[in-house]
Structure 1
Amino acid sequence: MSAATSMRNRLVDGPDSLAEKYRARRWEQLQTAFPDIEDMTVVDLGGTVSSWRRAPIRPRKVIVLSFEPEGADDVDWIKSHHADACDLPAQHRDLRADLVYSNAVIEHVGGAERRQRFADTVHGLGHHHWIQTPYRYFPIEPHWLFPGFQFLPVPARVAISRRWRLVHTPNRDRQAAVDNVLSVELIGLTELRNLFPSSRIVTERAAGLVKSIIAVR
């Protein structure tokens, strides 16, 4: 195992990684915010079946709407469907949930207009929600694990993406690197509050600094 792989495992990928500890704490926060979640129907926008299988909590029913749906035939309480959360297919527009959940997705949907449409979907699916996203102004960009990556010009980010060993999958192909860089747009507190004006904003901290932000209602 290379030193870079070992470092990434310690930070984000390994079962005992720092990121895994934050995920566990976030599940605890979710259950504290919604103590009756085991009786709820949850719609997860952009999530995965596997994350719910591993989760320490189990809602009555989970419906995952994602561009890359996973099979859930052997799990009777999880259903997974192909859907764009910014433009729900007709068969899902009447769907209603006790809780709309999304973890680290809104920064990937593609620009301010689509983020607003994502928020409109959240509001339309249910009264309660939990929408988490990495905080733009945390000094380490969470996808590339590179300091200040999100503030660099696109050509610099592309160059780093092709060479930086802590990235999950280095993009040797330049076009793939461009696509990957442009697929992530972190947001801050002002935009999250604008998208979810009636929500309580919860901050998650690391080393005293805001690491991620969560809109809760």
Structure 2
Amino acid sequence: MAWTDKLIDYKNPHSIGSILRQRRIAPLLELVKQCYRERGGCRILDIGGTETYWRIIDSDFLNAHNCRITLVNTHRVAQSGHPRFTHVIGNGCQLDFSDYAFDIAHSNSVIEHVGNWQNKAAFAAEIRRIAPCYFVQTPNFWFPVEPHYLAPCIHYLPLHIRAILLFRLPLGRMNRPRTMAESLQTVQGISLLTEPMMRTLFPDADILAERICGMKKSLVAIRR
């Protein structure tokens, strides 16, 4: 197994990435419990999510809290056919659901991929519109190790330098681009956020920090 798999293989419950995820989602589980107490069930909209992600939560917990999870993606993702999950093709910046159609809106490491600030603002507005509670996680720009490239400080370099490095070097678990144009497109598709940016996008949320060695690795916006 490659060293990157040992770090961030989310199918492996013992990888560092899986352990950190399990710790990070504790507030999400509290939202689910609160929702179940009030409504006897929990309708979750996960924007950009997969069924694999939800395996970090014990299936008995999801069953006991009558969770139904709708996964929205811009493309088809792997489907198990489990009745808990509904798969929808859609755009997180313009969702085809009515206001408060769900109990909890959820997004994990997606908002940094939706494009420019206008898109990020539209994405955040949809999150806030679609459910009374939400849980939105994103990597912190100021954490020194970039989580996609798994390289220190690479995200502080100019865009064209990042594209050259990605084109020439094996970085993290990312596929090597075949052309410089593809590399530039990939790099442009990753723009990490800072804590002030998250507070601006989610003014009605608490912004929590996931820390490693005292440093803020990722940011989580939660509206309870």
Q: Which residue of 2 aligns with 1:61?
A: 68
Q: Which residue of 1 is the match for residue 110 of structure 2?
A: 105
Equivalence for 2:195:
189
Q: 1:93 to 1:139 in 2, by over 3 A?
A: same
32-41 or 155-164: which moved more? 32-41
2:8 alignment partner, one of 8, 12, 26: 12
Q: Equivalent residue of 1:156, what SS?
A: helix
Match of 2:47 among 45, 52, 67: 45
Q: Out of 125, 129, 146, which is 2:130 matched to?
A: 125
Whether the 8 Å CA contact 2:31–2:133 is kept in 1: the answer is no
Shift of 1:73: 6.4
Structure 1 counterpart SS, 2:33: coil
Structure 2, gaps ≥5 residues long: none
Q: Which piece of structure 1 moves more, 118-127 or 12-21?
A: 12-21
> Unmatched 5+ residue regions in structure 1?
none
Say which is worse superposed, 60-69 or 135-144, in terms of deviation.
60-69
State the 1:170 CA deviation: 1.9
Letter in 1 for 2:134: H
2:86 aligns with one of 61, 66, 79: 79
Instruction: Provide runs of 4+ in structure 1 moved above 4 Å.
Output: none
2:26 is the alignment partner of 1:28: yes
- In structure 2, relative to structure 1, the CA distance for the partners of 1:11 and 1:148 (3 Å cut) is same
Supply the AA of the counterpart residue of 2:46.
D
Shift of 1:95: 6.4
Q: Shift of the alpha carbon at 1:71?
A: 5.4
How far does residue 32 in structure 1 lie from its aligned partner after superposition?
Answer: 3.1
In structure 2, distance between residues paired with 1:126 and 1:32: 16
- In structure 2, the residue matched to 1:208 is 214
> Could you tell me whether the CA contact under 8 Å between 1:7 and 1:166 is conserved in 2?
no
1:185-211 CA-partner distances (Å, limit 9, x unpaired): 000011100111010111000111000
- Displacement of 1:78 in angstroms is 0.8
TM-score, length of structure 1 as denominator length: 0.89
Distance 1:73 1:206 in 2: 34
Quickly say closer, same or farther: Cα 1:21–1:71, change in 2 above 3 A.
closer
- Aligned residues: CA RMSD: 1.9
Instruction: Measure, in 2, the Cα distance between the counterparts of 1:65 and 1:195.
Output: 20
Distance 1:32 1:188 in 2: 25
| SS of match in other structure, 2:25 | helix
- Give the length in aligned residue pairs: 211
CA contact (8 A) 1:116 1:195 kept: yes
Alignment check: 8 A CA contact 2:22 2:56 kept: no
Mapped to 1, the partners of 2:104 and 2:207 lie a distance apart of 16
Q: Which amino acid aligns with 1:190?
A: P
